Amino acid sequence: MLRLLGTRCTRGLGSSVPARPATGLCLPGRSQSRRASDMPRNHPPSPELVARSVGICSMMRLPVQTSPEGLDAAFIGVPLDIGTSNRPGARFGPRRIREESVMLRTVNPSTGALPFQSLTVADLGDVNVNLYNLQDSCRLIQEAYQKIVAAGCVPLTLGGDHTITYPILQALAKKYGPVGLLHVDAHLDTADKALGEKLYHGTPFRRCVEEGLLDCQRVVQIGIRGSSMTLDPYRYNRNQGFRVVLAEDCWMKSLVPLMAEVRQQMGGKPLYISFDIDALDPAYAPGTGTPEIAGLTPSQALEVIRGCQGLNVVGCDLVEVSPLYDLSGNTALLAANLLFEMLCVLPKVATA
């Protein structure tokens, strides 16, 4: 009976295909060579038929598998927080986001998106990071994502601190070349170094610029705010060609017009979405390591992500959820919903 419930929960009700074992990227697994179009679609189970407390703790209670082969998109956890500069705890973000994702359902009535009727999606578990060595962790992340991207699978990442975006973009650039970037954050993340170190969660996009991973004329940063050590903290970014949209320029307004401009700027070339949960005001998302007041609202976050529909999105991440400061679970719940919205704007997703 337990085996039956597990199968129903992870494969979707009515499916005769057995669930894959609950393992992740860190463990060896059998390669799946069939094309995604030849495989049955995975569907999160309906809470009307399977209780939300039943099943393994995967993203949206999707199947967990070890290989990206045969998948159009996948959720991946990167439980790393040794690049943080203030409050730690983002290593527990992927697990908590998965727990809260039990509230998510299969379609998006607001946009008409039908992701699970369009794509084969699974949870690939977590990258086996090295919590004692940030450089080695970046190597492990890059290697894992190279395999995912090479398989034609679009990664949707559960962070982890923002350092992880750097090795992910290294992997993506090997396939796509320099990509556009939609970066939603309270912080620029283009510092050069801190305490003598050039790699931490405040430097990923400086390192990306130096390595030519970004198409700098197609980089937009939204939600930037907070105190600074200089009066012009945006100079480096704007000198690279980035568009920097301050949080105060978003106050009390819809971001739909802004996203129309972003879509025009991004065109049809590959685009990566990197969303730091601290872009949102800490009244909505307190569970993060470097909170800044007067941020975006959840409705504005939805406008930003939904505004990417029709763009050539090749990967996404949601980072910096720290459950230690998220007593209600609302930050992780918000993160889970934003990841679902990212899934809904992937290029192959049909709309009703």
Half-sphere exposure of 170 (CA within 13 A, CB side): 17
Position 37 in a domain? no
Annotated binding site for Mn(2+): 162, 185, 187, 189, 276, 278
Of 23 and 191, more confident: 191
Is residue 86's pLDDT more than 70?
yes
Instruction: Identify whether 53 is part of a domain.
Output: no
pLDDT averaged over the chain?
91
Mean pLDDT confidence for 14-35 = 41
In a domain? residue 52: no
Minimum mean pLDDT range among 17-21, 80-84, 227-231: 17-21
Q: How confident is the model at residue 25 (pLDDT cuts 50, 70, 90)?
A: low
Residue 44 is assigned to a structural domain of this protein? no
Q: Is 195 left (phi over 0), alpha (psi -120 to 50) or beta?
A: left
Name the phi and psi angles at 122, rounded to 5: -145, 175
Q: Which residues fall in the annotated binding site?
A: 162, 185, 187, 189, 276, 278
pLDDT, mean of residues 10-15: 37
Encode pLDDT of 137-177 as tens digits. Answer: 999 999 999 999 999 999 999 999 999 999 999 999 999 99
User: Is the pLDDT score of 3 beyond 70?
Assistant: no
Alpha-carbon span 306 to 304, nearest angstrom = 6
pTM as predicted = 0.90
Beta bridge partners of 159: 78
Question: For 166-175, what is each residue's pLDDT tens digit?
Answer: 999 999 999 9
Tell me, what CATH number does 172's domain have? Answer: 3.40.800.10
**What residue has token string 């407390």?**
53
Does 42 map to a domain? no
Based on the structure, what is the number of domains in the chain? Answer: 1
The answer to whether position 46 is within a domain reads no
The answer to whether residue 242 scores a pLDDT higher than 50 is yes
pLDDT beyond 90 at 331? yes
Residue 129 falls inside a structural domain: yes
Inside any domain, residue 86: yes
Q: What is the pLDDT of residue 11?
A: 39
pLDDT of residue 38: 57
The whole-number pLDDT of residue 40 equals 75
Residue ranges making up the domain that contains 210: 71-345
- Percent of the chain predicted with pLDDT > 70: 89
